């Protein structure tokens, strides 16, 4: 469904070039859930933005659904792939109601039956009809993230790109959103890429996981291998040890 070969992203920063992503290659099959983990600055979100066409990139191959991706995407290509961001407050318009925000993508794509689709999208993510005319500040963090997911899914994309969708939420709310995501993924047959710094979250939601460090893809493992610590690279082992909590002896 997604094929990435030798992806590079460079930013010019105060006259200096920052090579944020260095020669990353991976493939995601149709219906697969792929995860990317790494620390801040490892380039994991940048990979996702490049796939979505939000930033300039260079690659030997970057193909989505069998079609080579261009720098500028057509409406149909955009409809195929939708994005959920980390901060649900920052990604929702503060002066628009939930209804306005869910309506907008449908209007842009000229869809019919908008009223019914908005109502169905709300029900799908577990929101009630009374949430439809609220503003983001009248919703809790978990509800806001549900709105962001509803907006991403309302165009019925085949690919969902998730950039730290639960890291701004409490664990109890995170559990609800993760359950919702895994339920929607199976019922809609979505292909997804999830970026997170939390190994537990990635292992829970993804089958295959890429570990990134300083712009490079260090290794790709199965969720099972990650759980039992069957990994090759020292860096992955270090991440695993650190995610299991504090110990005086660990370096």
Partner 1 sequence: MSDTPLIEVDDLNVSFPGRGGVTRAVRNATFTLGRERLGIVGESGSGKSTTGRALLGLIPRPGIVTAKRMTFGAENLLNYRDADWQRLRGRRMSMVMQDPKYSLNPVMKVGHQIGETYRLHTRASASDARARAIAMLEAVQIRDPDLVYHFYPHQLSGGMGQRVMIAMMLVAEPDLLIADEPTSALDVTVQNEVLRILDDLVRDRGMGLIFISHNLTVVSSFCDRVLVMYGGKIVEECKASELHAAKHPYTRALIASAPSLDRIDTELTTVKRDPAWLA
| Least spacing, CB of residue 128 vs partner 1, in Å | 17
Q: Please say which residue, 15 or 245, places its beta carbon nearer to partner 1.
A: 245
Q: Please say which residue, 23 or 141, places its beta carbon nearer to partner 1.
A: 141
CA dihedral 229, 28, 159, 32 (to 10 degrees): -60
| Least spacing, CB of residue 135 vs partner 1, in Å | 18
| Least spacing, CB of residue 222 vs partner 1, in Å | 12
| Least spacing, CB of residue 233 vs partner 1, in Å | 14
The H-assigned helical ranges of 81-216 are: 98-108, 114-124, 141-153, 171-188, 199-205
Q: Please say which residue, 63 or 240, places its beta carbon nearer to partner 1.
A: 240
- What distance in Å separates the CA atoms of residue 158 and residue 223, rounded to the nearest whole number? 23
| Least spacing, CB of residue 16 vs partner 1, in Å | 15
Copy the structure tokens of residue 11.
Answer: 């930013």
Query: What residues make contact with partner 1 under the rule CB under 8 A?
Result: 39-40, 141, 170-176, 178-179, 182, 197-201, 203-205, 226-227, 238-240, 242-248, 250
Q: Please say which residue, 63 or 173, places its beta carbon nearer to partner 1.
A: 173
Name the DSSP class of 139: S
Q: Please say which residue, 38 or 157, places its beta carbon nearer to partner 1.
A: 38
Nearest to 152 by CA among 203, 112, 193, 201: 193
Q: Please say which residue, 82 or 143, places its beta carbon nearer to partner 1.
A: 143
Tokens 């306005």: give the residue.
Answer: 100
Strands (E), the chain: 2-13, 16-28, 33-37, 61-64, 67-68, 81-84, 159-163, 191-196, 208-213, 216-222
Residues facing 160 on adjacent strands: 82, 192
β-strand 61-64 against 2-13: which pairing, if any? Answer: antiparallel
Query: At 26, is the secondary structure helix, strand, or coil?
Result: strand
| Least spacing, CB of residue 31 vs partner 1, in Å | 17
| Least spacing, CB of residue 173 vs partner 1, in Å | 8
Q: Please say which residue, 31 or 56, places its beta carbon nearer to partner 1.
A: 31
Asked whether 16 and 175 are in contact (CB, 8 A), the reply is no
């Amino acid at each position: 469904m997604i094929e990435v070969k030798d992806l590079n992203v460079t930013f010019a920063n105060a006259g200096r070039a920052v090579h944020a992503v260095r020669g990353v290659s991976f493939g995601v099959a149709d219906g697969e859930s792929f995860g990317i983990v790494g620390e801040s600055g490892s380039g994991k979100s940048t990979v996702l933005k490049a796939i979505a066409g939000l930033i300039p990139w260079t690659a030997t191959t970057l193909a989505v659904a069998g079609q080579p991706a261009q720098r500028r995407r057509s409406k149909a290509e955009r409809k195929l792939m939708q994005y959920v961001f980390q901060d649900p407050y920052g990604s929702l318009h503060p002066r628009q109601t939930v209804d306005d925000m869910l309506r907008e993508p449908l209007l842009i794509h000229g869809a019919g039956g908008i009223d019914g689709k908005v109502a169905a999208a709300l029900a799908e993510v577990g929101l009630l009809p009374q949430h439809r005319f609220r503003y983001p500040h009248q919703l809790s963090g978990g509800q806001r993230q549900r709105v962001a997911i509803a907006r991403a899914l309302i165009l019925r994309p085949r690919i969902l790109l998730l950039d730290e969708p639960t890291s701004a939420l409490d664990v109890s709310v995170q559990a609800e959103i993760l359950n919702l995501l895994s339920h929607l993924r199976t019922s809609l047959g979505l292909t997804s890429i999830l970026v997170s710094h939390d190994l537990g979250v990635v292992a829970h939601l993804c089958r295959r996981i890429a570990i990134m460090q300083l712009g490079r893809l260090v290794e790709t493992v199965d969720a099972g291998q990650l759980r039992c610590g069957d990994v090759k690279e020292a860096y992955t082992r270090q991440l695993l040890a650190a995610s299991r909590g504090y110990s005086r002896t660990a370096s």
